Amino acid sequence: MPTSARRARERANTRERIIEAALHILENEGVTALTIRRIATAVEYSAPVVYQHFANKEALVLELVAHGHRLMMAELQQAAEEPDIDRRFLLLASESVRFAGEHPHLYQVMNGDTVDADERLRAAAPMIDLLRELLTTWSDAHDVVLADFDEACDIVWGTLSGMASLGRIGTVGNERAQQLAQKAMRTLLRGWRADLPVNA
């Protein structure tokens, strides 16, 4: 029975098409335009078909979030190859903020309160891992012992989120937010280097 294989392939294919259509709508028209019927017509189906591939809208959006993180990691790949660790840190800071600026609506669902917080955290795991790795090689390179490594990691991660969210409000703008991310990161790192004496 080759038919079931083909059917499964077609199923997976339309599923993928739905995700792509949803992503396209989200990026081009914003989160308010991301409606089930709108997505369905974009793939030339009726609305209930979407529910054959996703339990509900949140599940679909969650897929977009995962896709967004993959995309972000891919775009960060190039910056991750910068050999100098300090430069790499700053570069990844500004590049991640740049991503947020170039995909504002996607970033909004990735880091906004549209989806459940725990799912959001799970989707962001690769990014967090990247930051952990970054921070370890940095501290190794400079013989800095962080009093609390996880804490420092969360601070870096939270700071980047903060700078990116700053980029969406009037006075700041994205290129400035990128600069802010670099400056903030530089200041943080300098602050950690400044307490070589072991204090809390």
Partner DNA sequence: CGAGACCTTCTAACGTTGTTAGGATGGCTG
Partner DNA sequence: CAGCCATCCTAACAACGTTAGAAGGTCTCG
Contact residues for its own copies, defined by CB under 8 A: 108, 111-113, 117-118, 120-121, 148, 151, 154-155, 157-163, 165-166, 168-172, 179-180, 183-184, 186-195
Nearer to DNA, 44 or 102 (CB): 44
Over the window 40 to 79, marking each residue x when it contacts DNA by CB under 7 A and - when it does not, the resulting string is: ----xxxxxx-xx---xxx---------------------
CB nearer to its own copies: give 40 or 109.
109
Q: Cα separation of 134 and 141, whole Å?
A: 11
The two three-digit tokens of residue 60, written as one number: 């679909």
The residue (of 40 and 134) whose beta carbon lies closer to DNA is 40
Contact partner at residue 192 from its own copies, DNA, none, CB < 5 to 8 Å by partner kind: its own copies
- Residue pair 147/199 in contact (Cβ under 8 Å)? The answer is yes
Binding partner at 56 among DNA, its own copies, none, C-beta below 5 to 8 Å by kind: DNA
Shorter beta-carbon distance to its own copies: residue 18 or 135: 135
Given DNA, its own copies, none, residue 171, with its beta carbon under 5 to 8 Å by kind, binds: its own copies
Are 100 and 153 within 8 A, CB to CB? Answer: no
Q: Please give the DSSP secondary-structure letter assigned to residue 34.
A: -
Out of its own copies, DNA, none, what residue 80 binds, judged by CB under 5 to 8 A for its kind, is none
- Cβ of residue 114: shortest distance to DNA, in angstroms? 11
Burial class (CB in 10 A: 0-12, 13-18, 19+), 77: exposed
DSSP code string of 42-95:
HTTS-GGGGGGT-SSHHHHHHHHHHHHHHHHHHHHHTGGG-SSHHHHHHHHHHH
Compute CA distances 56 → 66, 127, 200, whole Å.
Answer: 16, 26, 46
Q: How far is CA 17 from CA 26, 56, 89, in A?
A: 14, 17, 36
Options 24, 30, 37, 141; binder of DNA; rule CB under 7 A: 37
- Smallest distance from DNA to CB 59, Å: 8
Comparing CB distances to DNA, the nearer of 57 and 168 is 57
